[in-house]
Every structure is written in structure tokens, then in C-alpha cells.
Amino acid sequence: MTTPELEVVGLARTFAQNELVPHAAEWDAGKVYPAEVMRKLGELGFFGLRVPEEYDGLALDHETYLMVLEEIAAGDASVAISLSVHNSLPVTMLAAHGTPEQKERWLRPMARGNVLAAFSLSEADAGTDASSLRAQATRAGDEWVLTGEKAWVTNGDVADLYVVMARTDTPEDRRRHRGISAFLVPAGTPGVTPGRREDKLGLRASSTTTLALHDVRLGREGLLGEENLGFIYAMQALDAGRLGVAAQAVGIARAALEHAVRYAGERKQFERPIGEFQAVQFMLADMATRIAAARELTLQVARERQRGDRVTQRASMAKLFASETAMWVTTQAVQVFGGYGYMRDYPVERLFRDAKVTEIYEGTSEAQRIVIARGLHSD
């Protein structure tokens, strides 16, 4: 890793410790979206982590990018998922499939921190089976007209741009995943209405909403890539998205371990720090080992992706292992804290709640196992 790359990771670590850690509990308790902190991250270039240099981005390699996300997640997982969704999905799809005009319009302001993007695939009845989505895009002369309702949109009411997946086949000729296209929908377009923020178990400082589309009219420039290939683009981008969630999970787990180690050195029972008892030492050792394994798997897959290897199965492995590691490690951290770990006054309770969703979004653990098993049969 070069010196500039190390400097970006170091900047992320310093920012997380100074700007996120002191406020994360307050944001969580009040369900406060940290708009000012996001503005600062945008000014520092963190909205352009994966944007190509020719559009003013940092163009980080996959490994460095995930290391940055881990640092941000260790400070506040809510902020990390906002950055991850923006960089891993809309940026990836635009850079790969956008026209020169679309890239100029959107990637440059993204990199400069002026545009935060959201990705809108899921619907209330189309989660794991995302290809069954119902939002419809219909041609009307030189325009596209979008109608439908999307669900669980991260950055839903704060985004400046939505990458929306909608059907471009017809009700009479449904083609499943081959009848879905990707659209660039600017916030504020007539007919685009974000719903109220969801009241979530964890990641309470991130914005998650529904998105209503009522006769939303877009010009030809609204179509991203080729018609009917949007779902394929989305699945390709989800490799990056799943690695982003894996890095987020590692960051959550690392923060929980750091709190547990510190607490074990301070908390005394039987006139000794509990960290001197072998039972606690073994818990901490297992936590550290699993985190190290999750991190190395995630970064190895990132290096493979950087080489151009196909990593769909491996990205699912990383996402599965890292998210289940985060859930296991945060559970152990609560146990180390004992009764205090169950109290909202202590940070591991929040980390425990934040960890759970990493086993659900960007594909559930069950969906990851299906992808992994399918890959075994195709080898």
C-alpha cells in the first residue's frame, strides 16, 4: 500500500475518532441524521472514494476503500452505510455504464461532495426475490414515466440522486430479471416523494425510507446503460456492496472488541480485573481471532476484484462471515460487560443492535449461502 493510500486510511481513522465516536450514542438515541458530519466527509472527498480521477474522485483501489469503510464503521456504522451505499452502488454503476454526459453531470459533483446518492431496488414484496419488483417504467414519446413504490432506501430523504430499478417489460410479457432497467432520478423531480424515516432496531442515525414514484417523467438521459439490463448491472454492483457491508461489519466488531478489552481491564470482581480471569481472556481471544479472519477474507476478495477476477461467490463468503462475526463478537462484548452491557449507557448495546442488520441487507445470510452453494456446483 502506498503512502497516499495509508494517509487516506489514517484520515478516516482520525475523523472517526474525533467526529463520530463522541456523538454516535447521541445520534443513535435521537435518530439524528448527522448532516454536518456528512457535509464534512463530502468536503474531504469521501463521497468520491471510488469515483475515477478524471471526474475528481480519489479512485481508491478496492482494498484501501474497504479499509476506509472499516475505520468509519468503527466510529459510527450509520455513517459508514451511507458512504458505502453511495460509493459501492450508484458510483459503481455510473462509472461502468453511464454515458459521458451522465458521468459529467453526476460523478463530478459526487466526488466533490455536492451530491449524495441512493440505490433503490427492493420493494415491500420484493426483497430477496428482487427480480419480482413491480415499479414500472413506460415509454411516452421521448420520455420515460416511472410509477411504483420502493422500500428500505438508505439515504432515502437526504439523497440528491436515486438510482432506481424499474420494469421496462410489459405486464403481458414479464421477463423477470431481464425486464428491469436502471434509471437516474434526481431528487426533487415531480412525483418523487420519500416516505418517513423508518424506526429501526439499529443504525438509527442513518436515513432509511420508502420512495414513492408517481408519474415521474425522465428524459432519455434518465436511462442508465441499456434497456432491460439494469438488474444485471445491479447484481454486478452488489459484489462491491456486499464487500462494503463486510467491511462495515468488521468495523462494528472491532469497536466492540476494543470496548470489551478496555472494560475487562477496568472492571474488578473478587479484587481483580475481570480480564485476568481465563474465561474472559478466552472470550477476548476468540473475538480477536474471528475479527482478524473476517478482515483478511474481506481484503483478499477486494484484491481479487481489483485484479479483475469474478468474485460473486467470494464476496458472498466475505459478507456472510464478516456479518455473522459482527453479530457473534458484539454478543460476546455484551457478555463481557455483564449487566452493564445490557444498558444503553454503555456502547456495546448499540453495537449489538447495529450488527444485526449486516446479516440482512445487501442479501440475507441465507441468500449468501445460496450464492456460495451455487458457485460450488458451477466449479
Q: Could you tell me where in the chain the CATH 1.10.540.10 domains are found?
A: 3-111
Question: In CATH, what number does 3-111 get?
Answer: 1.10.540.10
**Number of alpha carbons in the 13 Å side-chain half-sphere of residue 260:** 30
State yes or no: pLDDT of 276 exceeds 90. Answer: yes
State yes or no: pLDDT of 150 exceeds 70. Answer: yes
The answer for residues whose C-beta is within 8 angstroms of residue 237's C-beta and 6 or more apart is 88, 89, 92, 93, 96, 119
Q: Which of 167-176, 180-189, 225-234, 273-282 has the lowest average pLDDT?
A: 167-176
Which percentage of the chain shows pLDDT scores above 70? 99
Q: Which residue has the cell 432509511?
A: 208
- The residues annotated with a catalytic role in the active site are 362
- Residue 378 pLDDT grade (very low, low, confident, very high; cuts 50, 70, 90): low
Q: Which of 27-41, 199-213, 324-338, 365-379 has the lowest average pLDDT?
A: 365-379
pLDDT at residue 379, as a whole number: 57
Residues 286, 308: Cα–Cα separation, whole Å: 33
Residues 119, 117: Cα–Cα separation, whole Å: 7
Cα pseudo-dihedral 52, 314, 131, 168, rounded to 10: 30
Q: Could you tell me where in the chain the CATH 2.40.110.10 domains are found?
A: 117-228
Task: Give the amino acid at 89.
Answer: L
CATH for the 232-378 domain, from 1.20.140.10, 3.30.1050.10, 1.10.260.40, 2.60.40.1180: 1.20.140.10
State yes or no: pLDDT of 317 exceeds 80. Answer: yes
**Number of alpha carbons in the 13 Å side-chain half-sphere of residue 122:** 18
CATH for the 117-228 domain, from 2.40.110.10, 1.10.540.10, 3.40.50.1700, 1.10.3720.10: 2.40.110.10
Residues 176, 228: Cα–Cα separation, whole Å: 10
The answer for residues whose C-beta is within 8 angstroms of residue 98's C-beta and 6 or more apart is 106, 107, 224, 225
Cell of 292: 482478524
Average pLDDT in the chain = 96
Q: Could you tell me where in the chain the CATH 1.20.140.10 domains are found?
A: 232-378
Cα pseudo-dihedral 251, 254, 255, 258, rounded to 10: -160
Residues 153, 12: Cα–Cα separation, whole Å: 25
Residues 34, 71: Cα–Cα separation, whole Å: 17
Residues 286, 252: Cα–Cα separation, whole Å: 16
Note the helical H segments in 98-229: 100-111
Answer positive or negative: Cα dihedral of 218, 221, 226, 229: negative
State yes or no: pLDDT of 89 exceeds 80. Answer: yes
- Residue 5 pLDDT grade (very low, low, confident, very high; cuts 50, 70, 90): confident
